[in-house]
Chain A
Amino acid sequence: MSTAISVGKPSWWRSEFFLVGVLLLEIAIFSRTGSNFATAINALEIVRLSAEIGLLAVWMTPVVLTGGIDLSVGSLLGLCAVCFGKLWRDAGLPWPVAAAATLVLGALGGGLNAMLITRLRLPPLIVTLGSLSLFRGLAEAITRGVDNFTGFPSGFLDWGQGYLVGGIPAQAPVWIAVAAGVIVLVHYTVFGRALRAIGHSPEGARYAGIAVNRCVAWVYVLSGTAAGLAALVYVARVGQAKADAGTGYELLAITAVVLGGTSIFGGTGSVWGTLLGVASLAVLRNGLQLSDQPGELAGILTGVLLLGALSAEVGFKKFSARRRASVTLASSNSPS
């Protein structure tokens, strides 16, 4: 099966190479223009600040691999953050219990998406567009738009603000462990291969004996759980939970995934690429700020980077397809 999946892949173009180049270029430029950019402390700070987007993005990768999308993760992060605050402050639960409940809530939110997508066969784009509004609306309703949970115990805040030995931010191990877990899941398990097969052709995957619905459902549940986890990291880092937490994070996560070379139509892509995508976006934002450039520029350059990367990929694909056109006819599968 795996040979069938890699048919039509251009022989040497990979988004990862492009992104490593982008990353090195960014580092070279910002080392000159930014104050204290090229320091170990800042490198760790980038890891710290990219944890939430990173968590969402690595779990978005399997979703996109199946040919789906999850627009609701940013809103679900907001809802989970607010519920965590509510459970801890108003229900008086100890924070570890509230945190566990928040993860369950994230899974349930993802489960709702999963049910609508697999049972009712609604397109993921529409379902998660709906739950994007739903989750954010619930978060606003719970806080009536104004309530802001603060004053969390330091034992909890340490997970987002504390540092381990060597100045390693406390959330780094969590985020690296999750990323490693997703890499193993997507690249080294049967489940991961099933996801690609589903992304290429759900019908084909079903005929090949893959439990398509179950796989797809799991992917959304896990994506929701990741939103719950990201919510905890977010609240611990910022020290507050408000209904607008994580607004727009879903788009940053999807940007990182697509930048990392995962096809938005599903089937091909890698978590490594996503990680590089997260890194190049985070370094870009951090470097611009340390170079005293306005935040708007980050938005512009993110757009340029994404469009540039996609155009370059299509260009290379066409180029290599033309070169191989005489050898095989099976190489043109680019739907764009």
Chain B
Amino acid sequence: MKRLLSLGPVLLSLAVVLSGCKPSAPDSGSTAPAAGSTSGGVPKPLTVAFLPKSKGNAYFIAARQGAEQAAKELGIKLLFDGPTEPDPAKQNEIVETWITRGVDVIAAACENREGISTALRKAQAHGIKVVTFDADALPEARSFFVNQATPEGIGNALTDEAARLLQGSGEYAIITASLTAGNMIEWQKAIEKRNAEKYPNLKRVALRPCDDLKDKAFAEATAILNANPNVKLLMAICSPAVPGAAEAVKQAGRVGQVKVIGLGLPNENKRYVKEGVTDTVILWRVVDLGRLTIHVAAALARGELKPGATEVTAGALGTFKISGDNVLLGEPFKFTKDNIDQFDF
């Protein structure tokens, strides 16, 4: 037994030596990552790594569709990996493996701003370009952020749609995720501003948080409808609240009298939109977000896109404005009865 035990360290060190020996060959060519691969003289295609907040989320599956489309258009290699559930630590681990693997660009949707920035800065230190999309990292940890919508864009689209449906006057109520979340507050402010500037007869009578829960949104919407009989429209500005509010209107038997609009995913709301409960769901085209992100990433890696640029061309998608270091996807998109079936996310 003793003898066998003493073999342990020998074998372990053998394994270490073996794994340590191999590097010497590819190491000499580590600046040219293709050295060890089988490709021979053919130049290696650009490798872009695409990191969603979570892999299984329909939203990111849609973004991936766009990313794959762009990869095909550009003839680049696309890596797609992410945590199965939103997990900042897993995101870091994946980024670190990509650093070792050697990719040209990382495009990340960040679950945790500070957490991932450490890993992204490390990637930059290794000569990997970084762009973010959907949710930004710290500015110094990436070159560009592909911004799907500005607060003004969202606020204006929601307020304009409400005004259109109410023909410019009437009472409405907002259901938000929480009264303290940064993005929610920005959107509320943008809505208030647009309301005050353009629609003096539009009056917000309630603002209720639903903690990002559909059940709570349903309860809050029901309470609003009971307390404010003159409310003609519910505006839900977090995604679970849109179907929640629609269900409340439906169960209160006030379909048609009270309209529902909101910021949400088409799939969650398809049923209500088709039944005529929900009029409009507003969101950006997520597929295009993925597609634009890959175009921006590739342009950055190829040196076609430099800091300070004011616009970027994304192939057949067209040209997009850049404000500061934010690439703007443009105006939000309206999903209605007429077009919602074309989208699956």
A interface with B by C-beta (< 8 Å): 2, 6, 9, 14, 16-17, 20, 23-24, 27, 31, 34-36, 38-43, 45, 49, 148, 150-151, 157, 161, 187, 234, 237-240, 242, 244-245, 270, 272-273, 275-276, 279, 286, 289-290, 292, 294-296
Contacts and interface: CB of A to CB of B under 8 A. Distances in A.
B182 to A, nearest CB: 13
B37 A294 contact: no
A230 B94 CA distance: 20
A45 B102 CA distance: 13
Nearest to A43: B19
4 A-B pairs with the lowest CB-CB distances in the bound complex, closest first:
A272-B8, A38-B22, A150-B114, A240-B115
Interface string B19-43: 1101101110010010011000000
Contact of B115 (A239, A286, A295): A239
Contacts of A34: 101
B15 interface: yes
B316 interface: no
B18 interface: yes
B339 interface: no
B188 to A, nearest CB: 20
B93 interface: yes
Contacts of B81: 289, 294-295
Interface stretch (B84-92, B273-281, B299-307): B84-92
A289 B94 contact: yes
Given A20-B11, A35-B101, A290-B100, A240 B23 contact: no
A195 to B, nearest CB: 15
Interface of B: 1, 4-5, 7-9, 11-12, 14-16, 18-20, 22-23, 25-27, 30, 33, 36-37, 79, 81, 84, 87-89, 92-94, 96-97, 100-102, 112, 114-115, 118, 122
A272 B102 contact: no
Contact of A49 (B7, B79, B93, B115): B93
B100 A27 contact: no
Nearest to A46: B19
A23 B16 CA distance: 10
A37 B118 CA distance: 23
Nearest to A235: B89
A211 to B, nearest CB: 24
Contacts of B20: 40, 43
B79 A272 contact: no
Contact of B97 (A23, A148, A276, A286): A286
27 contacts: A6-B1, A16-B8, A20-B15, A27-B22, A34-B101, A35-B101, A35-B102, A36-B26, A36-B101, A38-B19, A38-B26, A39-B23, A40-B23, A43-B19, A49-B93, A49-B96, A161-B118, A240-B89, A240-B115, A245-B89, A270-B5, A270-B8, A272-B5, A272-B12, A275-B12, A286-B97, A290-B100
A129 B94 CA distance: 30
What secondary structure prevails in chain A residues at the interface with B?
helix
Contacts of A9: 1
Given A40-B20, A275-B12, A295-B84, A157 B5 contact: no
B124 to A, nearest CB: 14
Contacts of A39: 22-23, 26-27, 30, 100
A240 B30 contact: no
A161 B125 CA distance: 13
Nearest to A81: B89
Contact of B5 (A23, A161, A187): A187
B114 A239 contact: yes
A36 B8 contact: no
B286 to A, nearest CB: 21
A140 to B, nearest CB: 15
Given A39-B26, A242-B89, A276-B15, 15 more contacts: A16-B7, A20-B15, A27-B19, A38-B19, A38-B26, A39-B30, A148-B112, A148-B115, A187-B5, A238-B118, A270-B8, A289-B81, A289-B94, A290-B101, A292-B79
A157 B23 CA distance: 28
B100 A24 contact: no
Nearest to A6: B1
Contacts of A292: 79, 101
B53 to A, nearest CB: 14
A27 B23 CA distance: 12
A27 B20 CA distance: 11
Contacts of A148: 88, 112, 115
B43 to A, nearest CB: 15
A323 B11 CA distance: 27
Nearest to B77: A292
B115 A150 contact: yes
B37 A35 contact: yes
A257 B36 CA distance: 35
A245 B87 CA distance: 9
Contacts of A270: 5, 8
B100 A240 contact: no
A289 B100 CA distance: 10
Nearest to B84: A295
Contacts of B23: 38-43
Nearest to A295: B81
Nearest to A40: B23
A245 B112 CA distance: 13
A331 to B, nearest CB: 15
B114 to A, nearest CB: 4
B25 to A, nearest CB: 8
Nearest to B14: A20
Given A20-B15, A31-B22, A289-B94, A36 B102 contact: yes
B6 to A, nearest CB: 10
